[in-house]
Amino acid sequence: MQVTKIYGKNWACIPVWCCDRRPFLGILYQFVVFAKVIHLLQGSVFLLLSPYHLHRDLYCCITSFLLYIAESKRKNDPNRLECICYLYVVLTAKHHEGFTNWKSVNSWNWNSVDSGPHRDLVGELGEAVRNRSLHYGLYNSLYEWFHPLYLNDKKNGFRTQDFVKQKLLPELYNMVVRYRPELIWSDGDWEAPDSYWNSAEFLAWLYNDSPVKDTVVTNDRWGAGCACKHGGYYNCQDKYSPGQLPEHKWEKCTSVDTLSWGYRRNMRIMELMDLPTIIEDLVSTVALGGNYLLNVGPTADGMIPAVFEERLRGVGAWLQVNGEAIYASKPWRVQMENTTVPVWYTSKGSSIYAIVTAAPPTTTLNLLTPKTSAATEVILLGSPSSLPWAPLYPNAGLAVLLPELPCVPGGAWTLRLDGVS
């Protein structure tokens, strides 16, 4: 992750993410004060604000899963972890309710050190992630639902900036200097223009003078009207897909739970993305040059629900076989074709990858776009031998004779095409 520098305090100077269109796959850990959960216990009513109002002895380490699935469910052990092929993680440092997952001096008694687990969650997770040479990002909401200074600024039509100058910016500067994130995932910007948030001024400091000036990247949520126009890479909107290859680096941020970013005790299986849907979503995003950030919501005690673990393990297992077509790949000249089944293309070096996201109805798969040569070779990833093929047309296309495809939970298979153009 590298960025060019900026030297002014205007949007024309904000850099793009200089990663040469190579995709990154990450996890968003939406650990926030979302739901008020009422428990009945021996006739008494206990009100819990998930996930913080918990006895510390019941509070397990937030890093017991995330980028790596726990080898052991043992609590408070951030180091017993197993890789599942993700490259970066974004933790919610502060969501819209204003609760910080670190000891912010600007959020007295409304943070994870003074209240709830009494732990620096941002710091602990950052250490665990960096010990494994992965990229660490922090989500930060600009606005806060109930902060009196913000509500007063809003009442004044955002002509005053008491909240920005006394709360938001001091906290942001402190967060960057203290934890040195490689990515700042900004949100909660839409009610006010970037001039109210002083976004350009903050970003000028971030890219010129901050301790992460040579490595940090940002998204595009820095004020009303900025999405899909300004920023390092574009989110545009939640669960955004461009439909065609964009000119600007972008990211799709989506959630396993289709109805919520945080954990819901009443979620049902049909409301979750199944593994084939996640894989196809990932593949289409990478084919269009995007990063894929997949959100999971932990329970009140910090654990990942088993059904989310199953999804994440499934993605990891699929990538162990097909990751060659994903990691360090670039979009090809044609991103997708759909004759009998959807086929998405990526490229890396001299190889082209055709990722088939549905089982073909016959043993012959027709690929219309690649131009073959005498040196063309087709290999099914995970299989040791080349596959027979024949040209479809004089100038392009080939018909590949498929073997019996292995049964894979992800429902997608990859052909590597060498010697094609």
Question: 293-306 pLDDT, tens per residue?
Answer: 999 888 877 788 89
Where residue 21 falls among pLDDT bands split at 50, 70, 90?
A: low
Question: What confidence score (pLDDT) does residue 80 get?
Answer: 35
Same topology between domain 11-325 and domain 330-418: no
Residue 246 confidence (pLDDT) above 90: yes
Q: Class of 11-325 per CATH?
A: alpha beta
| Domain residue limits, the chain | 11-325, 330-418
What angle (nearest 5°) sits at the alpha carbon of residue 57, between those of residues 53 and 61? 85
CA atoms within 13 A on the CB side of 125: 31
Report the range of poorest mean pLDDT among 41-45, 113-117, 209-213, 365-369: 41-45
Where residue 54 falls among pLDDT bands split at 50, 70, 90?
A: very low
Based on the number of CB atoms within 10 Å of its own CB, is 301 exposed (0-12), middle (13-18) or buried (19 or more)? middle
Tokens 């000028």 -> residue = 204
Q: What is the DSSP letter of 303?
A: P
Question: What confidence score (pLDDT) does residue 358 get?
Answer: 95
Question: What confidence score (pLDDT) does residue 24 get?
Answer: 61
Which ranges constitute the DSSP H helices of 79-192? 121-130, 148-155, 162-163, 169-179
Give the closest residue to 320 by CA, choosing from 276, 382, 409.
Answer: 382
Question: What confidence score (pLDDT) does residue 62 get?
Answer: 30
Other CB atoms closer than 10 Å to residue 275's CB: what's the count? Answer: 22
- E strands, 279-341, are 290-296, 330-338
Q: Token pair of 82, please?
A: 């197993």
Start-to-end CA distance of the chain, whole Å, equals 29
pLDDT in tens, 162-181: 999 999 999 999 999 999 99
Cβ atoms of 104 and 111 closer than 8 Å: yes
Distance of CA 325 to the CA centre of its chain: 19
Q: What is the DSSP letter of 57?
A: G
Question: What confidence score (pLDDT) does residue 2 get?
Answer: 38
Residue 81 confidence (pLDDT) above 70: no
Q: How long a stretch of residues is the chain? A: 421
Separation CA 382–CA 104 (nearest Å): 49
Q: Token pair of 101, please?
A: 């997952």
Q: What is the DSSP letter of 386?
A: B
Q: Token pair of 117, please?
A: 């687990």
Question: What confidence score (pLDDT) does residue 31 get?
Answer: 63
Mean pLDDT of 26-55: 40
The CATH number of the structural domain formed by 330-418 is 2.60.40.1180
Question: What confidence score (pLDDT) does residue 115 get?
Answer: 87
- The helix-helix angle for 275-287 and 306-322 (nearest 10°) equals 50
Q: What is the DSSP letter of 276?
A: H
Where residue 182 falls among pLDDT bands split at 50, 70, 90?
A: very high
Based on the number of CB atoms within 10 Å of its own CB, is 164 exposed (0-12), middle (13-18) or buried (19 or more)? buried
Question: What confidence score (pLDDT) does residue 13 get?
Answer: 56
Strand partners, 137: 90, 183
Based on the number of CB atoms within 10 Å of its own CB, is 85 exposed (0-12), middle (13-18) or buried (19 or more)? middle
Cβ atoms of 215 and 182 closer than 8 Å: yes
